[in-house]
A and B are shown apart, each in its own frame.
Chain A
């Protein structure tokens, strides 16, 4: 049910699930997005999506690397109601539900690579589902353009998205896919093709995710404490695979220390 008053919010917080977390510092390229999925810490690092080179998987809260969420009682829903975190540099942290992920794409192939993602198990209409490319083994030194064929939020196939794969895309780095005009989400991805080789095969994949909340730490190590109103009290699926993206402002972001509360109501 919905939270309709501050009293209900407070009750939901007191009965809520608290999830402390931390992720260790990494070396990345400044001003690029990184996924914390593979970073060590608590929870422990997530694994590369399997099977590699195939349609990937639809992770959930029970997937290694995710935050296991306790089920809500019948008639109850889960909401992100509080999140406090800090990092040793200014930057932006995005909490997302990782819906589908694949691996095994090559940074040297210049033919069409099949992706054929598995169906979404949450946010199944694809509305608001974002498509990113995520690196699992470092790619080559030359920036390239990836063209993705996908099915949009209305079920229309053969839509075309593009992403710029940066030079020397490191493990954990992610880049957003720009959708075709008029589209607001993705149900599935069918294929990907590079305009030329990056120089190294590496390993990357497609990640479909639903954004839950964005938080900015404006000054390094000052920390962020966001309440339910700051976050917009977004609903969270009890099967959600919660993970983080971070827009790094330097080459060594982190470590990150945080704790969030999932309220039940």
Chain B
């Protein structure tokens, strides 16, 4: 796609929105995924290892992208929320489920090949929890293939929250800038029940910022232009996935999100 400044000003924009809704209660210092709902309807839990590719956003609950066989340009967005939390927007690419919190054995994951961003550069792994494992389990490491195709690399899981809907990021081995696939995951301390977790591979798009308006009970609002977003080109089939980094306190979020697209 080629775009000019005039195109961005005058071309028709397709606008997609997430309607105002009531979200979940905040949990301090945690990355909370919207896969099981919150910003939108619930999606199904990925089944087993081997990795399933995320279906196109048009058929899954999320902030939908325009349907197009070609990349579409993200040229604007608006966001309003009433609580103080950082929203991070990713393209969710591959995910698995069926991981157990109650074993110290090496668990096979063997994610499928990336359908986009295939070189793995900038693709981050997460441990995503679908069902809580009791008994204070502690995540250990993953074995992965890096952006250069080198297998057997070791990532260290950052333990934030091992409860359903939460995500735990992974720090990569020195020199690595992304992940092509994840082969195994190992707990460092087992819990008493299996629960359910999986590996999610996602590429970061942008943080979603807000500007505080008024006092504590006011909404936070922000807009971003095409140049501030860097005229992000989203590939066909991209799935917009939101993580919330909460800042503590209590209450439920009310929000509105709007994305402006140019499709050719």
Contact = CB atoms under 8 A, between A and B. Distances in A.
Do A and B pair up? The answer is yes
Given A225-B206, A257-B204, A259-B205, A220 B247 contact: yes
Interface residues of B, number: 50
Contacts of B226: 10
Given A7-B5, A222-B209, A42 B171 contact: yes
B134 to A, nearest CB: 26
B156 interface: yes
Is chain A's binding surface mostly helix, strand, loop or mixed? mixed
Contacts of A120: none
Question: Which of A11, A45, A82, A225 gathers most chain B CB within 10 Å?
Answer: A225
A1 B210 CA distance: 36
Interface stretch (B32-40, B47-55, B101-109, B175-183): B175-183
B169 interface: yes
A221 B174 contact: no
Contacts of A258: 204, 207
Interface string B177-197: 110000000000000000000
B27 interface: no
Contact of B1 (A6, A14, A16, A68): A14
Nearest to B172: A44
Contact of B171 (A9, A40, A224, A230): A40
Interface in A1-33: 5-7, 9-11, 13-14, 16, 18-22, 24
Contacts of B178: 42
A65 B174 contact: yes
Contacts, number: 153
B3 A10 contact: yes
B245 A24 contact: no
Given A22-B169, A84-B229, A226-B228, A67 B177 contact: yes
Given A81-B230, A82-B227, A44 B209 contact: no
B230 A41 contact: no
A43 B175 contact: yes
Given A47-B174, A84-B228, A225-B229, A7 B206 contact: no
Contacts of A18: 122, 230, 232
B231 interface: yes
B88 A257 contact: yes
A131 B56 CA distance: 49
B205 A227 contact: no
A259 B202 CA distance: 13
Contacts of A7: 4-6
A41 B209 contact: no
Interface in B193-251: 203-212, 220, 222, 224-233, 245, 247
Contact of A41 (B85, B172, B224, B229): B172
B8 interface: yes
A44 B175 contact: yes
Interface string A61-76: 0001101100000000
A172 interface: no
Contacts of B6: 7
Contacts of A81: 230
A13 B86 contact: no
A137 interface: no
A214 B220 CA distance: 24
Contacts of B222: 222-223
Contacts of A226: 228
B124 interface: yes
Contacts of B220: 222
Given A40-B156, A67-B177, A229-B227, A257 B3 contact: no
22 contacts: A6-B227, A10-B4, A14-B73, A20-B122, A20-B204, A24-B171, A40-B172, A41-B169, A44-B174, A44-B177, A81-B230, A82-B229, A84-B209, A84-B230, A85-B207, A88-B245, A219-B212, A223-B209, A225-B224, A225-B228, A228-B227, A259-B230
Interface of A: 5-7, 9-11, 13-14, 16, 18-22, 24, 40-47, 64-65, 67-68, 81-82, 84-86, 88, 219-230, 255, 257-261
The 4 closest A-B pairs by CB, nearest first: A223-B209, A64-B175, A82-B230, A20-B204
